Amino acid sequence: MEPEDVEPGDAVHPGHPVTVNRYRKIARINHWITATCLILLAISGLALFHPSLFFMTGLFGGGQNTRAIHPWIGVVLFFSFAGLFFQFWRANMPTRTDAVWLSRAGDLLAGHEERMPEVGKYNAGQKFIFWSMTVLILALIASGLLIWDQYFTYLTTIPQNRVLVLIHSLAAVVIICVWIIHVYAAFWVRGTLRAMVQGSVTGGWAWRHHRRWLRELVTGHKVSP
């Protein structure tokens, strides 16, 4: 029993089907602000990363505006993600089950979820996304601030800046890949998206994918009539 798996607002509503509250409104708003920032950052960053994508600066009103706005979106993303971090970190701490889950990840991908161990609010894959995002966003904000020519480049030498800009671009590539996995998983596992849109999932979804979380909610009397 790992009660830290249960996050504020999680609750079961009996019915036909059962519905389970998974994300509060504040978490959902927080998530979609972060998501919007990340997408805008990816578009504006890629536009400056490769000449073939420079045309995308048009979406931001030209190269000068893209250069000016990209770091500010990054600042918003940082604080927005910090909001998600403090809401989700406890339930994303690694557990023994994660090792078992990871060792059987191939079965999950092959379509045999019944072979997976019962997991709490987040499985090891979701925890991987959470911690990858955390580490990469920290790397991106730190390197990004130091190469922010308008305000902070004076803090570092030119050779340091070269390394920082390389780190920034590589971290950005990795976070885009992590983002692709995150988005794909949310669509592949049907019924997931509504957790972040309406805030709830069906009892069957919770039973199938996060059974221990569902059990904890039920036995912990987080069942509202």
Partner 1 sequence: MDPIHTAQTNPPVQSVPPQFSEKDLIRRSASSVPAPARQLEEVAKLIDVSKCIGCKACQSACIEWNDTHPAIETNVGSYVNPHDLTPDMFTLMRFTEWDNPQTGNLEWLIRKDGCMHCADPGCLKACPAPGAIVQYSNGIVDFVHENCIGCGYCIKGCPFNIPRISRVDHTAYKCTLCSDRVAVGQGPACAKACPTHAISFGTKDDMNKLADSRITDLKSRGYDKAGLYDPPGVGGTHVMYVLHHADQPEIYSNLPKDPKISPVVKAWKGIAKYVGFAAIGIAAAAGLLHSSLVGANRVTREDEENAERLVRDKT
Is 184 a residue that touches partner 1 (CB under 8 A)? yes
- Exposure b/e, 32-67, CB count within 10 A at least 16 = b: ebbbebbebbbbbbbbbeeeeeeebbeebeeeeebb
With binding defined as CB under 8 A, does residue 203 bind partner 1?
Answer: yes
Please pick, from the candidates 56, 102, 165, 186, the single residue that binds partner 1 as defined by CB under 8 A.
165
Q: Which of 6, 18, 73, 136 binds partner 1 (CB under 8 A)?
A: 18
Give, rounded to a whole angstrom, the gap between the first and last alpha carbons of the chain.
Answer: 23
Query: Are 152 and 137 a contacting pair, CB within 8 Å?
Result: no
Question: Can you say how many angstroms the Cα of residue 51 is from the centroid of all Cα atoms in its chain?
Answer: 28
- Active-site annotation holds for 182: yes
From the list 29-37, 57-65, 89-97, 121-129, the region that binds partner 1 by CB under 8 A is: 57-65
With CB under 8 A as the contact rule, the residue among 48, 56, 102, 196 that binds partner 1 is 48
Stretch that binds partner 1, among 74-82, 128-136, 137-145, 154-162 (CB under 8 A): 154-162
Helix (H) or strand (E) segment spanning residue 19: strand 19-21
Q: CB-hemisphere CA count at 13 Å for 188?
A: 12
Rounded CA gap, 149 and 144, in Å? 10
Footprint of partner 1 on residues 119-148 (CB under 8 A)?
Answer: 147
Select which of 31, 70, 168, 182 is catalytic.
182
Q: Which residues, in sequence order, are bridge partners of residue 128? A: none
The binding site for partner 1 (CB under 8 A) comprises 12, 14, 16-18, 48-51, 54, 57, 62-64, 66-68, 109-111, 113, 147, 149-150, 153, 158-159, 161-163, 165-166, 169-170, 172-174, 176-177, 180-181, 184, 187-191, 202-208, 214-215, 218-219, 223
User: Which amino acids are annotated catalytic?
Assistant: 182
